[in-house]
Structure 1
Amino acid sequence: SGLSFLGLGVQPPYATWGNVLNDGKDSIEIAWWLSLYPGLAILITVLSYNLLGEGIRDALDPRLRQALGRFVTR
């Protein structure tokens, strides 16, 4: 979406979050919701993938479990 916002990604006939944000930035003062909802969708998606990745790392990293076990037992 960042590349589409800058004009380097998928070109305008196709809808992407970056293109929608780029179209909405011109009318942000009178129609703020045009940029709000795609921005929230990007935010929720990025945070979800980040939390999923951290959860997978916590579940699969044996060094993290050992370090956490030493910290809890002290």
Structure 2
Amino acid sequence: ARATVMQLRDSEYIIAARSYGGSDSRIMLRHVLPNILGPILVVFTLEIAHAILLEAALSFLGLGVQPPLPSWGLMIAEGRNYVFFTPWVITIPGVALVVLVLGINLLGDGLRDLSSPRDAAD
């Protein structure tokens, strides 16, 4: 987000808004914020997905939440003992974790496309 703001700072429309006497807060709210909203949404959703994967990985290793609290990583770790007899014990939480993270990433991408339609072709 900082790189985008630094790039926008030297844009012609920001310079024009300053030359017309626009205050810094008005320029930030009317010109800069709408242009950085897309990248901020993408970073936010990527960080949420990263946090979910990190929690699941730590729980799988035994460093995250402990039983009886639910965690997909913990469910996968406990299902390792039964993988040859009942493979769905690992498959269902694993697929649910992948679908959740993929869904969050796609949601962030869709929100970025909606918030900045001129960048949607990229």
After TM superposition, the score normalised by the length of structure 1 is 0.78
Q: Once superposed, what is the RMSD of the aligned Cα atoms?
A: 1.8
Q: Where has structure 1 moved over 6 Å in runs of 4 or more?
A: none
Q: What percent identity do the matched residue pairs reach?
A: 43
Q: CA deviation at 1:63?
A: 5.0
Q: CA deviation at 1:59?
A: 1.4
Which stretches in structure 1 are left out of the alignment for 5+ residues? none
The partner residue of 1:43 within 75, 92, 98 is 98
- TM alignment of 1:12-51, pairs within 5 A: 12-51=67-106
- Tell me what 2:52 maps to: none
The residue type paired with residue 57 of structure 1 is R
Bigger Rg over Cα: 2
Structure number with higher helix proportion = 2
After TM superposition, the score normalised by the length of structure 2 is 0.50
Which stretches in structure 2 are left out of the alignment for 5+ residues? 1-55
